[in-house]
């Protein structure tokens, strides 16, 4: 079982460059989300989606765009990278539209470590 | 806005000892989640606590939930080195269409010989 797959695992960008972090899940999960993890700050929600064509902002959405054209994929776009976006990014999915589903806690990908210089 | 706080942030304990990690959340919630993260790895689900008074146990870890106090605890019994990891609690914030999970800052547990 592949589960939640994130690519790339590592990326270095220069300030101002753009890129897309890929996330794919093969579990037919409706709910998908992106978190960033920074030391001492836990995980903070960037954007989330409750199904194809539906996205919404999380706690720290500025500087990031998302789209959900299929159930399987939920890419995260950095429009113009800044050093403040240096972080580890996690994609997570759940089997229902609800992130707090009682029978399906979030399934996390292995993360993308992004450095912006 | 939902706030989730954990303490302590860092815990160094000897093998064989017992300790408790605390998770407080600021608004009413009927459920609470615990996750474990090993260094450089992803997060894996440990416990899902679904109601007031819920208690779940897995090996040397036991989690409980008091929704009236807005408090969850993760108790470690007779710690072993394999439990060294960062532990996160998370609570849902409900919107009109779905819920979002808000995570605590994590407790880094180091078990020493």
How do the pLDDT tens digits run along chain A, 117 residues long? 679 999 999 999 999 999 999 999 999 998 999 999 998 888 999 999 988 999 999 999 999 999 999 999 999 999 999 999 999 999 999 887 665 655 568 899 999 999 999
How far apart are the C-alpha atoms of B69 and B26, rounded to whole Å? 10
Residues of B with CB under 8 A from a CB of A: 4, 9, 31, 33, 35, 41-45, 48, 50, 88, 90, 92, 94-95, 97-106
Helix H or strand E encompassing A96 = none
The continuous run of DSSP H or E covering A30 comes out as: none
A33 within 8 A of A93, measured Cβ to Cβ: yes
Q: Distance (Å, rounded) from C-alpha B15 to C-alpha B83?
A: 10
Secondary structure (3-state) at B83? helix
Give the count of beta carbons closer than 10 Å to the beta carbon of residue B40. 9
User: Are the beta carbons of A108 and B92 separated by less than 8 Å?
Assistant: no
Determine, for residues B41 and A110 on separate chains, whether the beta-carbon distance falls below 8 Å.
yes
From first to last of its 113 residues, chain B has per-residue pLDDT tens of: 889 999 999 999 999 999 999 999 998 887 899 999 999 899 999 999 988 888 999 999 999 999 999 999 999 999 999 999 999 999 988 765 567 889 999 999 999 98
CA dihedral A46, A51, A54, A60 (to 10 degrees): -10
Handedness of CA A44, A75, A28, A31 (dihedral sign): positive
- The Cα-based distances of B29 to A106, B33, B66 in angstroms read 17, 11, 10
d(CA A74, CA A69): 8
Q: Which of B10, B42, B45 to mutate to test the interface with A (most CBs of A within 10 A)?
A: B42
Distance from C-alpha of B34 to C-alpha of A35, rounded to nearest angstrom: 16
CB contact under 8 A, A99 and B41: no
Report the residue of A55, A59, A105 to disrupt the B interface, i.e. the one with the largest count of B CBs within 10 Å.
A105
Short-list A93, A90, A117, CA closest to A29: A93
Helix (H) or strand (E) holding A41: none
- pLDDT of the residue at A41: 85
Set of chain B residues whose Cβ sits within 8 Å of the Cβ of A42? 4, 88, 103-106
Closest to B79 in 3D by CA, of B1, B11, B18, B2: B18
């Amino acid at each position: 079982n592949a589960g939640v797959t994130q690519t790339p695992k590592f990326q270095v960008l220069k300030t101002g460059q753009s890129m897309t972090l890929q996330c794919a899940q093969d579990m037919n999960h409706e709910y998908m989300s992106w978190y960033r993890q920074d030391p001492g700050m836990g995980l903070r929600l960037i954007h989330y989606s409750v199904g194809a064509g539906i996205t919404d902002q999380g706690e720290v959405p500025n500087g990031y765009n998302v789209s959900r054209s299929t159930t399987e994929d939920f890419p995260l776009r950095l429009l113009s990278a800044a050093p403040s976006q240096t972080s580890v990014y996690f994609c997570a999915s759940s089997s229902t539209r609800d992130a707090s589903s009682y029978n399906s806690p979030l399934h996390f990908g292995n993360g993308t470590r992004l450095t912006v210089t | 806005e939902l706030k989730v706080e954990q303490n302590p942030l860092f815990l160094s304990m000897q093998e064989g000892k017992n300790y408790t990690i605390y998770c407080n959340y600021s608004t009413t919630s009927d459920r609470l989640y615990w996750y474990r993260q090993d260094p450089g790895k992803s997060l894996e689900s440990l416990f899902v606590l679904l109601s007031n008074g819920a208690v779940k146990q897995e090996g040397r870890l036991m989690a409980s939930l008091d929704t009236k106090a807005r408090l969850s605890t993760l108790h470690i019994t007779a710690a072993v080195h394999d439990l060294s990891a960062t532990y996160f609690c998370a609570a849902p914030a409900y919107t009109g269409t779905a819920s979002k999970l808000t995570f605590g800052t994590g407790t880094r547990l180091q078990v020493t010989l």
